[in-house]
Amino acid sequence: MSMLSISDLRGGVADTDILHGINLNVDAGEVHAIMGPNGAGKSTLSAVLMGRPGYYVSGGTVTLDGADILAMPTWQRAAAGLHLVMQYPSEVPGVSIQSVLIEALQRRGRDDDDVDALLATEAERIGFAPAFLARSLNVDMSGGEKKRNETLQLAVLQPKVAILDELDSGLDIDALRDCSRRVEALSDEGMGVVAITHYSRLLEELRPDHIHILVKGCIVASGGPELADVLERDGYGAFTGVDAADEGTSADDASSSLDDLFRM
């Protein structure tokens, strides 16, 4: 049995169905990349898995080490070992990273005595300026600093499975490398990774074992790292298959009509 098992997951946001049956199995230490064009449902997948308000599940199951994740409120999913690194981390004025991590560690039954030391070590490891540790969560931080902050929390909490929602957005090349290396090290220690991304740039750093192509709420192709090369060469057009062929789209104008396909 896989650590994280997603089976025929359907759902959406507001009253719009976006996910049309997602299947994905993630084992300990595996790195899976989910790639797709804008509007494919990438962020919806991460939102549904974590239980973001406003999103709904209309079918399917998600288990983490056999436990029914969808039956749990968000905080229990996190305490059970599922972690979401957010694309746009919220600013929370007046709330320190220490106070949140102390609460978070307690809920996991873990020791919270040395949070400060742990944070200092991890901050240095990913090049997060120690001065930011004294700030309110994400307040007055650049996009890159917020992502380092997200990675820092990931490293302290050490979940079973991490979902990285567009970790690479807003990151300069140095920050991307620092954050990716930390994620890689965690995965070497057994953390499963689901990296959701639009671009292949993250993959050069993260080197996933499996790549899945998400189009219009379905995984249309899965494979090894070689899929990234196909993407790089042909774009997402290579994976729209039957739909595009049925419409008689020629290779020449594929990009413009694919735009239409991807637009939700």
Partner 1 sequence: MLDLKSLPLPTADEEIWRYSRIDLLQPERFTPSPVRTDVVDPHGVCSTTATSSAVASPDVFAALNAESMSELRVDVPAGTTLEAPIIITHYIDAGTATLPRTIVEMGRDAEATIVEQFVSVESGVALCVPVLSARLDDAARLRYLAVNDLDTEAWQIGHQLAEQGRDTSLLLSTVTLGGYYTRARTEARALGSGSQTRQVALYFAAGEQMHDFRVIQSHEAPHTSSDLLFKGAVQDHARSVYTGLISIDETARQTSAHQTNRNLTLSEGAWAESVPNLDIRTNDVSCSHASTVGPIDAEQRFYLESRGVPPEVAERLVVLGFFDEVIDRLPRVDIVDAVRRRVVERLNIATEEVRP
Residues engaged in binding partner 1 (CB under 8 A): 50, 52-53, 73-76, 78-79, 83-84, 86, 89-95, 99-101, 103-104, 107-108, 136-137, 153, 157
Provide, rounded to whole angstroms, the least separation between the CB of residue 112 and partner 1: 12
Between 18 and 82, CB nearer to partner 1? 82
Number of H helices, E strands in the chain: 10, 12
HSE, side-chain direction, 13 A CA sphere, residue 232 = 11
Q: Are 162 and 191 in contact (CB under 8 A)?
A: yes
Contacts of residue 254, Cβ cutoff 8 Å, sequence gap at least 6: 235, 237, 244
Between 8 and 103, CB nearer to partner 1? 103
> What are the C-alpha distances in Å from 37 to residues 79, 83, 118, 229, 230?
31, 23, 37, 16, 14
Provide, rounded to whole angstroms, the least separation between the CB of residue 48 and partner 1: 13
Rounded CA gap, 141 and 143, in Å? 7
Between 11 and 89, CB nearer to partner 1? 89
Which residue matches tokens 């074992």?
Answer: 209
Provide, rounded to whole angstroms, the least separation between the CB of residue 129 and partner 1: 21
Strand 67-68 versus strand 55-64 pairing type: antiparallel
Provide, rounded to whole angstroms, the least separation between the CB of residue 84 and partner 1: 5
Provide, rounded to whole angstroms, the least separation between the CB of residue 66 and partner 1: 19
Between 67 and 100, CB nearer to partner 1? 100
Q: Are 192 and 65 in contact (CB under 8 A)?
A: no
Give Cα 229 distance to the centre of its chain.
Answer: 21
Between 91 and 184, CB nearer to partner 1? 91
Q: CA triplet 225, 47, 70: central angle to 5 degrees?
A: 100
Between 99 and 255, CB nearer to partner 1? 99
Provide, rounded to whole angstroms, the least separation between the CB of residue 26 and partner 1: 18
